[in-house]
Amino acid sequence: MRFSVIIVNTNEGAVLFECLERIFQAGRPFSTIVVDNASTDGSPERIEREHPWVELVRSQTNLGYAGANNLGARRATGDILIMLNPDAFVEPGWLEPVALRFADPAVAAVGPRIYRGRAGETLDSAGGDIEFPVGDAPGRGYLQRFGPAYAQPEDVAYLSGAAFAIRADVFRTAGGFDESFFCYYEETDLCWRVRMMGLRCVYEPASIVRHLGSFTFGGASPRKVTLQTRNRIRACLQNLNAANALRFLIAEAVVGTGVILAASALARHRPYAGAYLRAWGEVIAALPMTLSTRARRQRQRTVPDRVVLALHRRVPISAVIRRYARFARYGGDALFADGIGAATVAE
């Protein structure tokens, strides 16, 4: 079994070379590809000078996370593709447990235990949840200490794009990442489609990766909110069956209207109201493409929604509204930090 690691670099030389050094020290896989998104920080040239074992693929424009990973996947010759963020650092022995999971032909994708930061046992994700009906996708155990609840391998709704492995043939059959997303939610959408094909996405805690997180866009920004919201809405419209898509639209209208009105009333949050409105505007503008993609995906699916949604966590609208209220009060990582106290979030 041959593994090809794909790393997307967009002026991230400050962390990229630590990422590459960790891969080298842990034992290089079959191939390592860095797709460079038109960086201007000198990092592509440094790769060529100092890391001849890395295959550098240059893009003349910024293709985003989705497009750049798809470009890397087209160049990769491994049986298994590993998507790794440049600010994600593998630990020794990270690859072997992942490889063992692929002995089961029903397993299409595997994700490691991901810690937040270079040290400590605070989780970034132990796989991920997709929530129904609004489609938010928090990492399991996000900002909680690692413990028994996340110590066993298990099927999950999706795997963090910071670090996960997927069979190359499944990736290509599924159509790769949706390039119209550019970045954010694309790994959630891909894993959702993989499970619509009747295949499994598995969290493997014996494999450990450390992730700095939010290195490109920062912890929160209006642009990030627009991308995350737009892509979440489009994924739900494309992947849910008709009845569940209608349930989603009703819930999204309630939550989104509340978020926009509340944010508009608070001076420091008004940019987020605008970001949410822009997301809706972009969804409406892309509706013909979304409906075309939806028709194709619904034809290709092999299992019904009741099977796919068995791994989606039911979250009432009231809980989503409380979550956004907490974000308004504390900001930053508070949005999905359900497992930690307000005092911790505020620090």
Nearest alpha carbon to residue 317 among 131, 45, 57, 163: 131
Taking 90 as the threshold, does the pLDDT of residue 254 lie above it? yes
Arithmetic mean of pLDDT, 180-191: 95
Q: What is the pLDDT of residue 65?
A: 94
Greater confidence (341 vs 199) lies with 199
Pairing type for strands 131-132 and 313-314 reads parallel
Average pLDDT, the chain: 91
Arithmetic mean of pLDDT, 212-224: 69
What residue spans define the domains of the chain? 1-86, 222-346
Pairing type for strands 3-9 and 80-84 reads parallel
Question: Per-residue pLDDT tens for 97-137?
Answer: 999 999 999 999 999 999 999 999 999 999 999 999 999 99
CB environment 67-82: b (16+ within 10 A), e (fewer) = bbbbbbbeebebebbb
Q: What is the pLDDT of residue 343?
A: 29
Tokens for 20?
């590459």
| Half-sphere CA count of 29, side-chain side, radius 13 A | 31
Taking 90 as the threshold, does the pLDDT of residue 73 lie above it? yes
Q: What is the pLDDT of residue 269?
A: 82
Q: What residues have CB less than 8 Å from 310, skipping those under 6 apart?
A: none
Arithmetic mean of pLDDT, 194-210: 98
Question: Per-residue pLDDT tens for 133-173?
Answer: 999 999 999 999 999 999 999 999 999 999 999 999 999 99
Confidence of residue 344 (pLDDT cuts 50, 70, 90): very low
Confidence of residue 319 (pLDDT cuts 50, 70, 90): confident
Question: Per-residue pLDDT tens for 2-53?
Answer: 999 999 999 999 999 999 999 999 987 889 999 999 999 999 999 999 999 9
Taking 60 as the threshold, does the pLDDT of residue 256 lie above it? yes
1-86, which class in CATH? Answer: alpha beta
Q: What is the pLDDT of residue 337?
A: 57
Confidence of residue 281 (pLDDT cuts 50, 70, 90): very high
Q: What is the pLDDT of residue 220?
A: 65
Q: What is the pLDDT of residue 340?
A: 37
Arithmetic mean of pLDDT, 267-291: 93
Q: What is the pLDDT of residue 336?
A: 60
Confidence of residue 221 (pLDDT cuts 50, 70, 90): confident
Question: Per-residue pLDDT tens for 322-341?
Answer: 887 776 666 555 456 554 33
Taking 90 as the threshold, does the pLDDT of residue 311 lie above it? yes
Taking 60 as the threshold, does the pLDDT of residue 342 lie above it? no
83-97, 259-273, 325-339: segment of lowest average pLDDT: 325-339
Q: What is the pLDDT of residue 333?
A: 53
100-109, 181-190, 263-272: segment of lowest average pLDDT: 263-272
Q: What is the pLDDT of residue 332?
A: 52
Question: Per-residue pLDDT tens for 51-67?
Answer: 999 999 999 999 999 99
Helix axes 270-285, 287-300, angle to 10 degrees: 70
Share of the chain above pLDDT 70, in %: 92
